[in-house]
Amino acid sequence: MSMMVSPLIANVHFPPISEVKRWLSERPDDGQELIDLCQAVPDYAPAPELTEHLSHLLCDPLMSKYSPDEGLPEVLKAVCGYYGGKYGAQLSPDNFCLTIGASQAFWLAIVTLCRAGDEIVVQAPYYFDHPMALDILGIRGVYAPFVEAEGGVPNPATIARLITDRTRAILVVSPSNPTGAITPPGTIRELFDLARRRNIALILDETYNEFIPGGIRPHELFSDPAWGDHFVQIASFGKTFALTGYRAGMLVTSGEFIGHALKAQDTMAVCQPRITQHAVRFGVENLAPWVAANRDMMSRRHDLFRAEFMQPGNPFRLAASGAFFAWVRHPFNGCSGRQAAKRLVDEAAILCLPGEVFGPGLEGYLRLAFGNIREDAIPEAVRRFRQLTL
């Protein structure tokens, strides 16, 4: 191995989406149009009024300047208002740091909370970027197993048994990437209470919080007077406002924690781009009906996908599903998820992700992202699964 590469990063697997997309150059040209169920990207554009608003700001010389590390005061004030409506939360600007996507918010949280040798209890299947970051930083992930009978919802008793003296946090994603499962508010409360009893943090990644059917409040943690002592939220407006390339992430926790996180923020990114901040402000102040309409559309896609996929005769089995994702058990005994996903690319022109990139022992599963497949394409996608020869 080259002396220029850290052994920690050398042992981390290659980014899964990039790996799978490389397969496209190898697949036979059989005339089938590719159905991309690989990456969770909204297939619709940002709201026209948002792009129109931003177009008028681009000529402002301030748009090319730094902002304060945590974000512009007027943007943070607008985000506080959003949290009041979404969570019933009475937050202040010092509870926030705007970041370069949710991934950077996660890095900020981890480097502020942990040092090499610490442990994080991670609910599997996990979002693959999270353990990649932990491995690079020398932090040990301890994985709570996926239980198909429980639909992938975390079990607080199971997680409690995995906590040791080295544990610094419990990490959960809800709605889940990759399963789509929504952790009930009561379970989130149990996990928070567990974290408080063990004097650790609950890190909750809520990137897909605006895709819970009906716009139901995800939890009531912010109503606890001492919520910030043991709760760290990872958030994003990228999926919410179809701004994934704008990298509109956010870290939300106590003012004291944010104060320390800003030391890392200044060395990582300095600040979220101003144009992204203005997009976030416009979105939270003006686009609630647009967000609700897209939430309803995504719910229809999910309902149609479930109805089609679960018809008798499908060799693939739906293990869990929800906002943006389906978690599917493939029928190829003895095959890894990579082998199954490669067969789908080559024989059915369907691109998806193998289960093992979301956790150990998950080779029998595949992740499907239907955020970027329109309703009229869903029946054809499911037909291809059904017709694949075992």
pLDDT at 98: 98
pLDDT at 2: 54
Q: Do domains 7-45+290-387 and 48-287 have the same CATH topology?
A: no
pTM of the model: 0.94
Residues contacting residue 44 through CB under 8 Å, at least 6 positions apart: 242, 294
Amino acid, res. 139: I
Decide if 378 contacts 301 (C-beta within 8 A): yes
Residues contacting residue 218 through CB under 8 Å, at least 6 positions apart: 87, 174, 182, 185, 188, 206, 209, 212
Distance (Å, whole) CA 137 – CA 118: 10
Fold (topology level) of 48-287: Aspartate Aminotransferase; domain 2 (3.40.640)
H-assigned helices in 310-368: 337-348
Distance (Å, whole) CA 20 – CA 260: 37
Q: What is the DSSP letter of 148?
A: G
pLDDT < 50: residue spans in the chain: 1
Q: What is the DSSP letter of 43?
A: S
Strands annotated E in the chain: 35-36, 96-100, 119-123, 140-144, 167-173, 201-205, 231-236, 248-252, 317-321, 325-329, 350-351, 353-354, 365-369
The candidate with the shortest Cα–Cα distance to 180, out of 23, 328, 283, is: 328
* Model pLDDT for residues 204-215, shown as the tens digit of each residue: 999 999 999 999
- Residues in a beta bridge with 187: none
Distance (Å, whole) CA 188 – CA 96: 21
Secondary structure class of 82 (helix, strand, coil): helix
- Residue 218 neighbours by CB distance under 10 Å: 22
Q: Between helices 274-286 and 48-55, what is the axis angle to 10°? A: 140
Q: Between helices 378-387 and 337-348, what is the axis angle to 10°? A: 110
pLDDT at 390: 64
pLDDT at 388: 82
CA dihedral 338, 126, 381, 34 (to 10 degrees): -60
Residue 79: CA count within 13 A, CB half-sphere: 27
Distance (Å, whole) CA 220 – CA 258: 21
Would you say domain 7-45+290-387 falls under CATH 3.90.1200.10?
no
Decide if 336 contacts 356 (C-beta within 8 A): yes
**Tokens at residue 117, please?**
């040798």
Distance (Å, whole) CA 272 – CA 280: 11
Please state the domain extents for the chain.
7-45+290-387, 48-287
Q: What residue has token string 């809520």?
A: 206
Secondary structure class of 30 (helix, strand, coil): coil
